[in-house]
Amino acid sequence: MDTTLHDPIVGQVLDGRYRVDARIAVGGMATVYRAVDTRLDRVLALKVMHPALAADVTFVERFIREAKSVARLAHPNVVAVYDQGAQGAYVYLAMEYVAGCTLRDVLRERGALQPRAALDILEPVLAALGAAHRAGFVHRDMKPENVLIGDDGRVKVADFGLVRAVGDVTNTTGTVLGTVSYLAPEQIEYGTSDPRVDVYACGVVLHEMLTGAKPHAGDTPAQVLYRHLNEDVPAPSAAVPGLAVELDELVAAATARNPDLRPHDAVALLARTREARATLDDAQLDAVPPGARAQEEAGANHRTAVIPRPAVHRTSRLEMPPPGRPDRPGRAWSWRAPRRGVVAAVVAVLLVLGVGTGVWYINSGQFTRVPSLLGQTEQEAKRRLADAGLEARVTKDFSDTFDRGTVMRSDPAPLARIRGDGPVTLVVSRGPETVRVPDLTGMPLAQARRALTKAGLAAGVVSREFDEQTAQGSVLSSAPEAGTSVRPDSGVALVVSKGSPVDMPDVTGESVDDATAELEEAGLRVRIAAVRVSSPEDEGSVARQSAAEGSQLARGDTVTLTVSKGPRMIPVPDVVGETTDKAKSLLEAAGFVVEVDRGFPFLDDTVAEQSVDAGDEAPENSTITITTKGL
């Protein structure tokens, strides 16, 4: 269903200038629309604050701060802000429209990326953030959703709605803003937001691009927050064997839990990224990740959380065993108790997700909080539950993350409140299980994905090749190949048939109807570009086509046609009295084709007449005839 039909702003013209055509995205603070600037005839994106928030001065100030901040960042990898205004309940920003998709869309569709592709995306992101950092701003909400990839391949950073001045780094009584999976430890614990929090988030994004999965997963935002505070981001090669050690080192440097150990800003991380790339050969850069996980982490981990942070005393501590396990025998192991602010933040997350504050106080003495048991041995987890007066029930399941015999999850989850001595079910790891890759040859892609899911695997990178013997959309091969034993949840790369190739015809100069009919008859889809261009072709005919004549496309591929506004009209220069050579030079430089008609009998080389009078306009590339003197 097209939900834009029910959006009252669609179809309106804001401030007598911006015509709202369609809704394209909805966020926590605003909705983004595709619109047209009717004064400049330019397609743009209009970011309109939710009317319910427009009455809140704090939100409006933060919203307008985005416009002022980004307007100072004249950088090709930053989504530009053109204008800011308000009409009634609508407070808006007019922004650059980027036709394409987000990095999140790419990761959801393709899973893990090849290192070259990951670095090709990371470098312009760091360039954009580096410009912001050097201008004195911190983004604070870097994530794949805010990385736009245009149809032309350009990468741009969007949504500077959470920017703050670099000097304004601590907020112990405000809120922690950002997305849980990408928050730096100091953001969670202290509310600190200097350029190094963006560096940390970029390290997490790089890990996700290389492996297809976030480094810290969890059933609740509280678990993810805890892991960011207490666990290092794992090396990407742990999930994708064979990745270069330089990539592991790059992720480790960017995601160091101690901010003093990270590159000091995005410019420094960009330099380190380019140094790492320079050490990699083509085989390392183009390595296909055979075992990368390509499934999205579901639930609250994706959401941007606004976490209230009550004022705390920095020296207060609270004992809170982490969801890890003691190290191997023979090595010393100790845990540092987290600050009370962490607990307050975790509790606040749970409240935001729906735990009513009234229930917190009513009959509180009848409830017990489930301790954190993840990663502990079965015996230790049972002992801790018994100490808390809770009953333990045990089930077992396979896991390639948790060691055999350790708790991989509990029901209810850690920190949940449970009445009386109610039971807690512990799911204990049986260790890794191996499964065989099924034979997917000849299956339609959707059916192959279902077969992989049923086998406990995931579809990894999908590439396509022409094959006249296999139906379009069906699987040609897989990597690893059928029958190979792999661990559950491993990604399986698929090569899918594009069917017989379709040779792209030349439809420039044809009417839109004729060109559309010809392409659709060839099995192609047609899209008409929103903006027309000047060209030598007649007005209303096809000026450009997105695929070159003779290129090979697959049936069902989309070809974009750009319609001509007709040739550009150019003033004709005055060449009467000039020599033939000089007249030709002047007319050709202005954009015309020149023909010379020499008078009879030929007397001299001076131009006596020109076919279009000087100062009149003629179509670009049209022919101007000049006549030399005769009798």
User: What percentage of the chain has pLDDT greater than the value 90?
Assistant: 47
How confident is residue 90, by pLDDT bands cut at 50, 70 and 90?
A: confident
Q: Of the candidates 486, 523, 491, which has an alpha carbon nearest to the alpha carbon of residue 504? A: 523
Distances in Å between the alpha carbon of 620 and those of 285, 539, 540, 568, 575? 47, 13, 17, 5, 17
Relative to beta strand 423-429, strand 407-411 is: antiparallel
* Whole-angstrom distance, CA of residue 493 vs CA of residue 478: 6
Relative to beta strand 491-497, strand 458-465 is: parallel
DSSP 8-state symbol, 88: T
* pLDDT computed for residue 290 by the predictor: 62
Question: What number of CA atoms fall less than 13 Å from residue 286's CA on the CB side?
Answer: 3
* Whole-angstrom distance, CA of residue 217 vs CA of residue 436: 25
Beta bridge partner(s), residue 571: 617
User: What percentage of the chain has pLDDT greater than the value 70?
Assistant: 80
Instruction: Give tens-digit pLDDT for 497-543.
Output: 999 999 999 999 999 999 999 999 999 999 999 999 988 899 999 99
Of residues 299 and 556, more confidence is placed in 556
How confident is residue 187, by pLDDT bands cut at 50, 70 and 90?
A: confident
Rounded to an integer, the average pLDDT of 592-599 is 88
Sign of CA dihedral 494, 498, 504, 508: negative
Instruction: Give tens-digit pLDDT for 32-65.
Output: 999 999 999 999 999 988 877 766 666 677 677 6
How confident is residue 573, by pLDDT bands cut at 50, 70 and 90?
A: very high
Please confirm whether the linkage preceding 412 is cis (ω < 30° from 0).
Answer: yes
Is the confidence at residue 206, as pLDDT, over 60? yes
The answer for residues whose C-beta is within 8 angstroms of residue 130's C-beta and 6 or more apart is 265, 266, 267, 270
* pLDDT computed for residue 487 by the predictor: 76
**Looking at the domain 101-308, which fold is it?**
Transferase(Phosphotransferase); domain 1 (1.10.510)
Distances in Å between the alpha carbon of 133 and those of 74, 145, 194? 13, 20, 9
- For residue 532, give both structure tokens: 């027309």
Relative to beta strand 569-571, strand 607-610 is: unpaired
* Whole-angstrom distance, CA of residue 24 vs CA of residue 44: 12
Is the confidence at residue 238, as pLDDT, over 50? yes
Rounded to an integer, the average pLDDT of 407-425 is 80
* Whole-angstrom distance, CA of residue 289 vs CA of residue 212: 9
Range name among 30-34, 61-65, 341-345, 562-566 with the lowest pLDDT average: 341-345
Cβ count near 6 (within 10 Å): 9
Of residues 164 and 335, more confidence is placed in 164
* Whole-angstrom distance, CA of residue 201 vs CA of residue 208: 11
CATH 3.40.350.10 fits 3-96, yes or no: no
Range name among 55-64, 74-83, 335-344, 362-371 with the lowest pLDDT average: 335-344
* Whole-angstrom distance, CA of residue 90 vs CA of residue 47: 10
Distances in Å between the alpha carbon of 399 and those of 163, 224, 389, 428, 434? 40, 18, 28, 9, 10
**CATH architecture designation of domain 435-497:** 2-Layer Sandwich (3.30)
Is the confidence at residue 450, as pLDDT, over 50? yes
Range name among 103-117, 149-163, 237-251 with the lowest pLDDT average: 149-163
Is the confidence at residue 608, as pLDDT, over 60? yes
Sign of CA dihedral 354, 169, 213, 429: negative
Please, where in the chain does CATH 3.30.10.20 lie?
366-429, 435-497, 502-563, 569-628
- For residue 343, give both structure tokens: 């607990």
* pLDDT computed for residue 298 by the predictor: 39
Is the confidence at residue 323, as pLDDT, over 60? no
**CATH architecture designation of domain 502-563:** 2-Layer Sandwich (3.30)
* Whole-angstrom distance, CA of residue 510 vs CA of residue 595: 28
How confident is residue 321, by pLDDT bands cut at 50, 70 and 90?
A: very low
* pLDDT computed for residue 251 by the predictor: 96
Is the confidence at residue 466, as pLDDT, over 80? yes
DSSP 8-state symbol, 336: P
How confident is residue 420, by pLDDT bands cut at 50, 70 and 90?
A: low
Range name among 103-107, 310-314, 524-528, 625-629 with the lowest pLDDT average: 310-314
Pure H helices in 363-475: 378-387, 445-454
Is the confidence at residue 596, as pLDDT, over 70? yes
Rounded to an integer, the average pLDDT of 288-303 is 47
The answer for residues whose C-beta is within 8 angstroms of residue 578's C-beta and 6 or more apart is 586, 606, 607
Rounded to an integer, the average pLDDT of 237-246 is 92
**Annotated catalytic sites, by residue?**
141
* Whole-angstrom distance, CA of residue 128 vs CA of residue 106: 20
Q: What stretch of H or E contains 395?
A: strand 391-397
Which of 52-56, 65-69, 118-122, 616-620 has maximum average pLDDT?
A: 118-122
* Whole-angstrom distance, CA of residue 162 vs CA of residue 308: 16
Rounded to an integer, the average pLDDT of 129-138 is 88
* Whole-angstrom distance, CA of residue 292 vs CA of residue 211: 5
* Whole-angstrom distance, CA of residue 483 vs CA of residue 477: 12
What does the radius of gyration of the chain's CA atoms come to, in whole angstroms?
A: 31
* pLDDT computed for residue 161 by the predictor: 52
Residue 330 phi, psi (nearest 5): 95, -5
Of residues 298 and 491, more confidence is placed in 491
**Looking at the domain 569-628, which fold is it?**
Trypsin Inhibitor V; Chain A (3.30.10)
Instruction: Give tens-digit pLDDT for 248-282.
Output: 999 999 999 999 999 999 999 999 999 999 999 99
Sign of CA dihedral 548, 553, 559, 563: positive
Pure H helices in 422-503: 445-454
Is the confidence at residue 170, as pLDDT, over 50? no
Please, where in the chain does CATH 3.30.200.20 lie?
3-96
* pLDDT computed for residue 359 by the predictor: 30
* Domain 366-429, CATH number (from 3.30.10.20, 1.10.10.60, 1.10.3430.10, 3.40.50.970): 3.30.10.20
How confident is residue 401, by pLDDT bands cut at 50, 70 and 90?
A: low
Rounded to an integer, the average pLDDT of 280-294 is 74
The identity of residue 391, as a single letter, is E
Please confirm whether the linkage preceding 601 is cis (ω < 30° from 0).
Answer: yes
Range name among 56-60, 83-87, 609-613 with the lowest pLDDT average: 56-60
* Whole-angstrom distance, CA of residue 18 vs CA of residue 104: 29
Beta bridge partner(s), residue 43: 36
* pLDDT computed for residue 56 by the predictor: 67
- Length of the chain measured in residues: 631
How confident is residue 496, by pLDDT bands cut at 50, 70 and 90?
A: very high
pTM over 0.95? The answer is: no
* pLDDT computed for residue 310 by the predictor: 34
- For residue 152, give both structure tokens: 């032309």
Q: Of the candidates 417, 408, 173, 401, which has an alpha carbon nearest to the alpha carbon of residue 293? A: 401
Is the confidence at residue 409, as pLDDT, over 70? yes
Relative to beta strand 558-563, strand 607-610 is: unpaired
- For residue 499, give both structure tokens: 């069917």
Q: Which residue has the tokens 């050690």?
A: 245
* Whole-angstrom distance, CA of residue 169 vs CA of residue 575: 67
Sign of CA dihedral 65, 71, 72, 78: positive
* pLDDT computed for residue 218 by the predictor: 81
End-to-end CA distance of the chain: 77
Please, what is the average pLDDT of the chain?
80
* Whole-angstrom distance, CA of residue 145 vs CA of residue 26: 12
